[in-house]
Amino acid sequence: MPDQSSRGPARYYLAMDADAPAPPFAPLGRPVRAAFIGLGRIYDLNRLAYVDNDDVEVVALVDPSAERRAQRRGDWADAHVFGSIEELVESGLEVDAVEVLLPIVLHEEGTIKCLENGWHVNLQKPFANDLASAQRMMDAARRANRQLRVMENYLFYEPLRRLKEVVDSGDLGEITSYHMKMVASGRGGWDVPGDTYERQFAQTEVGRGILLFDDGWHKLSTAIWLFGPVREVRAWVGSTEVLPGVAVDAPTSVVWEHESGVRGVWDVSLAIDMYLRSDYYTNDERWEVTGRRGFARVNRCTGRGIQQPSLEVYLDGEMRSWHALDDDWASSFRDSGRHWLRWLRRAEGPLLWGPEEALDVLRFALSAYESSANAGVGVSPRSLT
């Protein structure tokens, strides 16, 4: 992976106030005292980074549901449980960092409370529903001199990391195109609490769809991670009613051009009656990068639709396949979380994502909505304020 030190915490702080010196981050140098804020479905994946990890001690679990608190307490025998962030604050318990796993509409309020109490924050994506909310969180982090990270587990999914290595190696030659395919299915996968879907469908009422904005956040992140800043976005966001009064944002097509000249295409489809084998969400995803000399593709991630090696590279008339990569989607949560905890303890590597990078992803998503609302006109993410 190329050096990304320029996209680390110093870049973040300078972005907040160009006239202020960048406060250096002092690694804790000891195990992180951590708390989980929110114990819903996604907790099952985020907790994996904390299990049998000498870099962290889980000291608190916070959730308004007594049932969830009782259920999750068995994971951490010594952790204290609380019904709210306020209760945790009032307890006086020593906490260094928190996993904020709240619904998107509560991100700003919960994150700012945590930052103002002196805790570093690992925030579940998407960052925010709008740029103003994201900026307020960034400003709060700057005032508190605490680290704000927007977790992106896809950057730690081994097949995608290997894809990036292939792209960065130059073996494919000059990159000519980038394509992503996503098919959302209505059958298969794990059980998701009804209130989770209620919150997601409520998001559609404010123009933030479950496929383009929520799950799609990952896809837009991988595009920026692979090929850098985006110059222009064009999109056509569709809508399909899946229940009376409930619509999903598909079919959707997004095309864009990076500042490097690489062009990308993302096709979002809905196959509501299709059964998809998955231990997690019913989402079939594929990535393909084409260069002048060959192509590389990742065949799956969350689900197991294509029963082929998770990474394949076609070069000089030969197909090379990777059969032994860690392609369990849950592993990407584990490795992203471990990266965060190592960073807090030792300051190893970039945050992936720091708030400035996450802001780039948010601008990318909002540009797609802006374009679609204006008949597919090209929109520059940098033009959004």
- Asked whether the beta carbons of 36 and 199 are under 8 A apart, the reply is no
In terms of Cα–Cα distance, which of 210, 220, 212, 213 is closest to 178? 220
pLDDT for residue 23: 65
Per-residue pLDDT of the chain (385 residues; tens, 9 = 90+): 333 333 333 333 333 444 455 467 899 999 999 999 999 999 999 999 999 999 999 999 999 999 999 999 999 999 999 999 999 999 999 999 999 999 999 999 999 999 999 999 999 999 999 999 999 999 999 999 999 999 999 999 999 999 999 999 999 999 999 999 999 999 999 998 877 767 777 888 899 999 999 999 999 999 999 999 999 999 999 999 998 888 999 999 999 999 999 999 999 999 999 999 999 999 999 999 999 999 999 999 999 999 899 999 999 999 999 999 999 999 999 999 999 999 999 998 899 999 999 999 999 999 999 999 999 999 999 999 9
Instruction: Count Cα neighbours of 60 within 13 Å in the Cβ-side half-sphere.
Output: 28
Contact residues for 272 (Cβ-Cβ < 8 A; gap 6+): 185, 186, 240, 242
Is 114 strand, coil or helix? helix
Look up residue 62 and give its two tokens.
Answer: 């916070």
Task: Tell me how crowded residue 122 is: count the other CB atoms within 10 A of its CB.
Answer: 26
Question: Looking at the DSSP assignment, which residues form a beta bridge with residue 180?
Answer: 266, 287
For the CA atoms of 264, 268, 269, 275, the dihedral, rounded to the nearest 10 degrees, stands at: 110
In terms of Cα–Cα distance, which of 375, 347, 374 is closest to 28? 347
DSSP letters, 34-45, are: EEEE--STTHHH
pLDDT for residue 13: 33
In order of start, what are the domains of the chain with their CATH numbers? Answer: 5-154+333-353 (3.40.50.720), 155-326+364-373 (3.30.360.10)
Q: In which order are the strands placed within the sheet that holds 80-82?
A: 80-82, 56-62, 32-37, 97-100, 120-123, 148-150
First to last CA, the chain: 31
pLDDT for residue 24: 77
Q: Name residue, tokens 């569709």.
A: 238
Q: Name residue, tokens 């973040």.
A: 12
For the CA atoms of 268, 274, 277, 278, the dihedral, rounded to the nearest 10 degrees, stands at: 50
Q: Which residues of 179-201 are buried (b: 16+ CB within 10 A; e: fewer)?
A: bbbbbbbeebbeeeeeeeeebbb
148-150/120-123 β-pairing: parallel
Q: Which amino acid is at 234?
A: R
In terms of Cα–Cα distance, which of 214, 378, 225 is closest to 283? 214
Is 128 strand, coil or helix? coil
Is 302 strand, coil or helix? coil
Can you state the percent helix, strand and coil of the chain, rounding each to 5? Answer: 40, 25, 35
The Cα–Cα gap between 59 and 376 comes to 49
Task: Tell me how crowded residue 302 is: count the other CB atoms within 10 A of its CB.
Answer: 23
The Cα–Cα gap between 319 and 295 comes to 9
The Cα–Cα gap between 43 and 46 comes to 5
Q: Name residue, tokens 């799609």.
A: 216
- Asked whether the beta carbons of 29 and 59 are under 8 A apart, the reply is no
In terms of Cα–Cα distance, which of 164, 104, 152, 157 is closest to 302? 157
pLDDT for residue 14: 32
The Cα–Cα gap between 36 and 100 comes to 6
Look up residue 235 and give its two tokens.
Answer: 């999109």
